[in-house]
Every structure is written in C-alpha cells, then in structure tokens.
Amino acid sequence: MIQVQQATTASKVRVVLLRGVLAWGFSTALLITLFNWYSTHQIENWIEISGRFVIYMAMGIPLGLFIWRKREEQAIRKPTRTLNIIRLVFFIALMAASAYALWEMTHR
C-alpha cells in the first residue's frame, strides 16, 4: 500500500511540475516577455522578467493541482468519444488562432 501511495505522490508532483509550472507558467511568462519585447522593441530589466517568471510559475502550482484532480476524476469515469472529439476541435482552433496571431505580429 505504501508503494502505491508513493507512486501516486510522485506522479502528482510530476503532473504539477510539468503541466502546471513548466507547461503553463513558464510558457506564459516567456510569451508575455517576448510580446513585450516585440511591442516595445526593448528588453525589460532582469528584475521584472524574473518576477514575471516567478509569479506565473507559482500560479502554475494550483493549476497543476486542478489538472491532477480532474485527471483522477476522469480515471473514475470513462470519457466518451464525443468529449475527445470536442477537445481535439478546441485544441486545433486554439493552435490555429495562435498561429494567426503570430503571423499577424510578424507582418507589421
């Protein structure tokens, strides 16, 4: 029983760090920093940049915990095929909108 609990805890920490802190927090802070650099044509001082990274990565911890809870709930109930298709459509729409925004920013 202890090994299962330790494996679950390690998995939880990995999900929180990878999905919440790194995937959301780091990438959001990086995108905001790059957008500010693009729009102002100058790099902010290192205190502002590092503060932004610390804040967004810290905000990624509750997001990672939320993702973990949702993942546990979905393990209990089997997701339907329709739900998976809806997620895929939303993901493709988000990526297309992001690509269009980047394309518009580079053509100005």
Pick the most confident of 31-40, 50-59, 89-98. 50-59
Q: What is the per-residue pLDDT for 108?
A: 63
The rounded distance, in Å, linking the Cα atoms of 26 and 16 is: 13
86's tokens = 């809806």
Kindly tell me if the per-residue pLDDT of 76 is higher than 80.
no
30's tokens = 């990086």
Top pLDDT among 83 and 2 is at: 83
73's tokens = 């709930």
Which pLDDT band, with edges at 50, 70 and 90, does 7 fall under?
Answer: low
The rounded distance, in Å, linking the Cα atoms of 104 and 108 is: 7
Which pLDDT band, with edges at 50, 70 and 90, does 38 fall under?
Answer: confident
